[in-house]
Amino acid sequence: MTTEAKNHIGHYFFLTLIGLGIWLPISGIALCIYVLQTASNLGMGALTVVGTIFSLLCIEFVATGLLLIYAYLKKPWRCSRKIRTVFFIHALAAGLTAFSAFICFLIIKLQ
């Protein structure tokens, strides 16, 4: 008897939503940081960029929470190799993003 769970379309759909919630904010935040570093005379536009970064971080944390809930409820490490690989890649990205946000918070706090 095998312990491998069946693959449903819901696994792929939910992992796609989580992937969008994790990877799009990463690229959006990188773009916003690039705009802040290279643009001059932004004026009040800088506040808009910072607000966008904050919104993207909120999306990132919600996606990370959904990833944790998904991991607890569906146990993707028992699923097929493809689902397991996608889950681990998303989990790695979420962990690195959370670690980076924590380091940035410490750098800002210590200045």
Q: Is residue 4 part of a domain?
A: no
Q: Is residue 48 part of a domain?
A: yes
Angstrom distances, CA of residue 35 to CA of 25, 47, 71, 106:
15, 12, 35, 23
Is the per-residue pLDDT at 1 higher than 70? no
Q: Is residue 90 part of a domain?
A: yes
Q: Is residue 3 part of a domain?
A: no
Tens digit of each residue's pLDDT (9 = 90 or more) over 18-42: 889 888 988 888 888 888 888 878 7
Token pair belonging to 68: 């944790």
Q: Look up the domain containing 17 and give its range.
A: 9-110
**Rounded to two decimals, what is the model's pTM?**
0.75
Quote the number of domains for the chain.
Answer: 1
CA nearest neighbour of 78 among 87, 69, 67: 87
Tens digit of each residue's pLDDT (9 = 90 or more) over 60-102: 889 889 988 988 988 888 878 888 888 888 889 888 888 888 8
> Could you tell me the pLDDT band of residue 56, with boundaries at 50, 70 and 90?
confident
Token pair belonging to 74: 């569906």
Which residues are CB-contacts of 4 (< 8 A; sequence separation ≥ 6)?
78, 79, 80
Q: Is residue 49 part of a domain?
A: yes
Q: Is residue 1 part of a domain?
A: no
Question: What are all long-range contacts of 96-104, with beta carbons under 8 Å and residues at least 24 apart?
Answer: 97/22, 97/25, 97/26, 97/60, 97/64, 98/61, 98/64, 101/57, 101/60
Is the per-residue pLDDT at 111 higher than 80? no
